[in-house]
Amino acid sequence: MKSLFALSGRQAFALALLFGILITLAGLGVRELESGDETRVAGIAAEMYLEGDYLIPRLNGEPFLEYPPLYYWSAAASYACFGIDDRAAKLPSALAALGCGLIVYLFARRLRLPPWCALGCCVMLMTSAQFFGNSRKCMVDMLLAFCILLAVFAFYLWTEAGTIRRKVLFLLLFAAAAAGGVMTKGLIGLVLPVAVLGCWLVGRDCFARRFSFPSYAALGAGTLLALAAVSVWYWRLYVAGGADMLHTVLVVNNFGRFSGSQGDHSEPFYYYLIKMPSLFWPWLPLVPFAVWHAVKRVRRDGDAGMLLVLSFLFVPLLLLTAASGKRIVYLLPLYAPCALLCGVLLTELPEKVRRFLTRYGGRPAVWRTAVVLLCITAAVFIVISEGWSFCYPLLAAAFLLAAWFSPRSVRRVWLTGAAWAFFFVAIDTASAPFLNRENSLRPMFEVCRAMERSGRETVLLSAPERTRGAAYFYLRRNVREIRRDETPSADAVLITRSKSGRAEGKPFADHHWLIP
């Protein structure tokens, strides 16, 4: 433990980078896409890539304007590099999660936390259960979280920049990040960071008893730059699809989802309070103490950095609580401030606790117990893994054993970090066989592909969005759809989704049925 406290800034950043790369990219394609948001997003991106229409996202041939196309563009670029498969579809989310981890490290260092503490912020963020799980999914929310975090961090850097050139660069970075948030999931990608920063500026000025007009002007200028950048896509969409398409993108999907007019994911105002105990595990017990400590620092010292982190946590939480539409994944941008607050709490470890960790943390008895427990867990993962995925728990055990026998304390920290990352990867890859059977639609479309070779036609029967996206992703083409009141052709193989279980045919994952 002594070597951990003695890490330099470069060593800690390099370790955070290694840890992030391993935990996000290793074994990314072992678990198949789940039926739901993943299959829909992956299918839209595949259709965009194969059909060559990068302006209008389409779902099985029909315009799908729920989200702007930034994630689809990213996934299409990934398909172009690596082919259309599960790994390429999830790569933008993984890279966005890696970016979040590195920004949190840099943010913590800008808040003047020691290197080991900034590394702890990065590790806590990337190992929290919800964040880790979503970093390995083909969903737009991780990219949105990255854009919001980058926008807040860039503007904070602007406030601390000492030269005009640096201020211009950071303001442009803020505008680009805010524009990226809008192009990922609509105006919420701009509203959340601007609301956080606006409330922070007001609170900071109240504590300082002054009015900083240049900060507000810069925030307004950056917002206008972001809107100007995204207006290019909105204008081209209007030219191609007319006023109705623009109204759908700007009004229906930006306000309807959160006002309750669409009825999507509508929940009572206390929904997030009920779900809060399931978030940010296993680090959640630290958050209340971290918030209390940060509030004390703000009241005592007027710490502007701590005030920003608190605003980053509570302002979006209040806005999302006030909205009608609610999902757990909407809280993903709040994990970064939680990690930062917990990292600040680590700096207040009593000196006796730090001496205890330094003295006993590296003792053979402690290492021996950790190695035995993790090796037993790795052995269980190896048994239940399928194919090459057994190598990830094996690597976790191997790196941990290497750390145990390493004579150098700094090398031991590096090897332990790699072992910890591979251990989390092993959790995902070892559970993949069970998740694939329960949630993947690949087996169903493999049967369809085999039947098509014998002259049958695959037809979607009143299929939802997830099924239409999966059809294009697995079959690489648009599939004909019919309503339930239409009569299919004699050679049709019907795909439908029924939760009632009354459909006649062969059942597949997520209540899907194949009717020959």
Long-range contacts from 238-242, C-beta under 8 angstroms, 24+ separation = 240/55, 240/56, 241/56, 241/63
d(CA 242, CA 247): 9
SS3 readout for 193-233: HHHHHHHHHHHHHHHHCCCCHHHHHHHHHHHHHHHHHHHHH
Amino acid residing at 426: A
Cβ atoms of 119 and 16 within 8 Å: the answer is yes
The CA R_g of the chain, rounded to the nearest whole Å, is 25
Question: Distance between CA 263 and CA 364 in Å, rounded?
Answer: 58
The pLDDT of residue 257 is 65
pLDDT of residue 368: 61
Residue 5, number of CB atoms within 10 A of its CB: 14
With a CB cutoff of 8 Å and minimum separation 6, the contacts of 187 are 254
Cα 294–chain centre separation: 26
Tell me the whole-structure pTM to 2 decimals: 0.93
Q: In what order do the strands lie in the sheet with 480-482?
A: 480-482, 457-461, 492-497, 512-515, 506-508
Q: Residues 453-504: pLDDT tens digits?
A: 888 899 998 889 999 999 999 999 999 998 887 877 878 888 998 877 655 7
Cα 121 to Cα 47: distance, rounded to the nearest angstrom: 38
Residue 339 · residue 281 · CB < 8 Å:
no
Alpha-carbon span 393 to 420, nearest angstrom: 10
Flag residues of the chain having pLDDT under 70: 1-6, 256-265, 349-371, 407-409, 501-503
In the chain, where are the structural domains located? 65-351, 364-427, 442-515
Q: Which pLDDT score is estimated for 462?
A: 87
**Among 380, 377, 356, 353, which residue's Cα sits nearest to residue 366?**
356
DSSP string, 310-365: HHHHHHHHHHHHHSSB--GGGGGGGHHHHHHHHHHHHTT--HHHHHHHHHHTT-HH
> Considering only CA atoms, which of 369, 306, 375 is closest in space to residue 343?
306
Angle CA 319–325–326, to nearest 5? 75
Q: What is the pLDDT of residues 353-391, one digit of tens each?
A: 555 555 555 555 555 666 677 777 777 777 777 777 778
Q: Three-state SS for 478?
A: coil
